[in-house]
Chain A
Amino acid sequence: MSDLIDARGLSCPQPVLITLEKLKSLDQGELVVLLDTDTSKENVIRAASSLGWQVKDVAATGVEYRLILEKA
């Protein structure tokens, strides 16, 4: 079961800050992030790649996104 962050309803930079904190604590593995704006999606992807995490999957439902981040 992967860890999950629900950052829907939060405005930037909150989704990024929460994701960065979680990624640092996990160090590796898989993290699911739920978002509801294009810009928070872009920024969270940037934040993840700055720490060496990859985007495994992006699923869009309407205006919501489900990102799966992973680091081996």
Chain B
Amino acid sequence: MKTLPIQSHPDLLVGMETADDAGVFRLTPEIALIQTLDFFTPIVNDPFTFGQIAAANALSDVYAMGGRPLTAMNIVCYPSRTVPREVLQAILAGGLDKIHEAGALLLGGHSVDDTELKYGLSVTGVVHPERVLTNAGAQAGDILILTKPLGTGIIATAMKGRLATPAAAAAAAQVMTTLNRLPPECLEGRGVHAVTDITGFGLFGHALEMAMGSRVKFTIYAHKVPVLTAAREYAAMGLVPAGSLANRNYCSKSLLLASELDPVLVNIFSDAQTNGGLLLAVAPAQAALVLEQLHNAEINAATVIGEVRGTGTGQILVKS
């Protein structure tokens, strides 16, 4: 994409130049449009759950910009000869369930015949142009809050190997189907300086993008990071997908890991997540209030995992 002759525009607030979650275009002084899409192949066996996960994941990019989703369209790649119609119907029903939970409307969609099933959404949302949250706003002294536990990629790997317990699979599905909607009151105080969602590059990759984009350094306290219990167990058995290892290698030059840090945790922090939690950089004076607001909104896993240490080029110090 970097080689394409992309044009700019005064009303283009967030485009392709930053590694951000969605594009933002100002329509009026009060309204900016957020556009995003995401779709992928099934990661769980149950089609309704897969639909929920894919939709929640696509909607998450709007939340990660501080916005509110308005409308969505289905993206479907469907092997009609090999996959029964009921499966597709269940996927679409799961997706619609999350669209409605988000308070958005389904407008339609498009399907193509494909050898492999894929589903996702194109989502349109809105945000006030002065309240766009990107991954580039973290400031020295900010507190880092993560809203969901890590480990869904490792549990999905164990599921593929038929080694995951039903309880572990359910815990991962619970995380992946949960919308990343932030309670509006936690954005009103303007204490939230930066947001990103944790997806394919894992906690390390997305934290690094935020730290680089904001020209700061992070300290992360490993023992404070919420992790799904089963993921820790499976990672200790070596059930680590190749993608997570690639994430770790990609980030390695920017990571300063405490020598006593458990290597299993390094795998989990590099683990590719599907619809993982939001990482928030919050002004220190408002961090306790924002955390309380998140907990009041039943985002119970929300935890302080570290802090922003001052200017830099994206280094992440990980203490045990």
| Residues of A participating in the B interface, judged by any CB pair closer than 8 Å | 11-13, 16-17, 20, 39, 42-47, 50
Contact = CB atoms under 8 A, between A and B. Distances in A.
27 contacts: A12-B240, A12-B241, A12-B242, A13-B157, A13-B160, A13-B161, A13-B240, A13-B241, A16-B161, A16-B238, A16-B239, A17-B163, A17-B239, A20-B163, A20-B237, A39-B240, A42-B263, A43-B239, A44-B238, A45-B238, A46-B236, A46-B238, A47-B237, A47-B238, A47-B239, A50-B236, A50-B238
Contact of A39 (B160, B237, B239, B245): B245
Interface string B130-171: 000000000000000000000000000100110100000000
Interface of B: 157, 160-161, 163, 236-242, 245, 263
Contacts of B237: 16, 20, 46-47, 50
Contacts of B241: 12-13
Contacts of A45: 238
Contacts of B239: 13, 16-17, 43, 47
Contacts of A12: 240-242, 245
Contacts of A43: 238-240
Nearest to B237: A50
Contacts of B238: 13, 16, 42-47, 50
Q: A interface, by DSSP: helix, strand, loop or mixed?
A: helix
Give 6 nearest A-B pairs by CB, closest first.
Answer: A43-B238, A46-B238, A47-B238, A17-B161, A11-B242, A50-B237
B51 to A, nearest CB: 26
A65 B245 CA distance: 18
A42 B163 CA distance: 19
Nearest to B154: A13
Nearest to A39: B245
B251 to A, nearest CB: 15
A44 B240 CA distance: 10
A42 B238 CA distance: 7
B43 to A, nearest CB: 14
Contacts of B245: 12, 39
Please indicate which of the listed interface residues B160, B237, B238, B245 has the most CB atoms of chain A within 10 Å of its own CB: B238
A11 B242 CA distance: 6
A20 B162 CA distance: 11
Contacts of A39: 240, 242, 245
Contacts of B157: 13
Given A44-B238, A46-B236, A47-B239, 16 more contacts: A11-B242, A13-B160, A13-B161, A16-B237, A16-B238, A16-B240, A17-B161, A17-B239, A20-B163, A42-B263, A43-B238, A46-B237, A46-B238, A47-B237, A47-B238, A50-B238
A13 B163 CA distance: 12
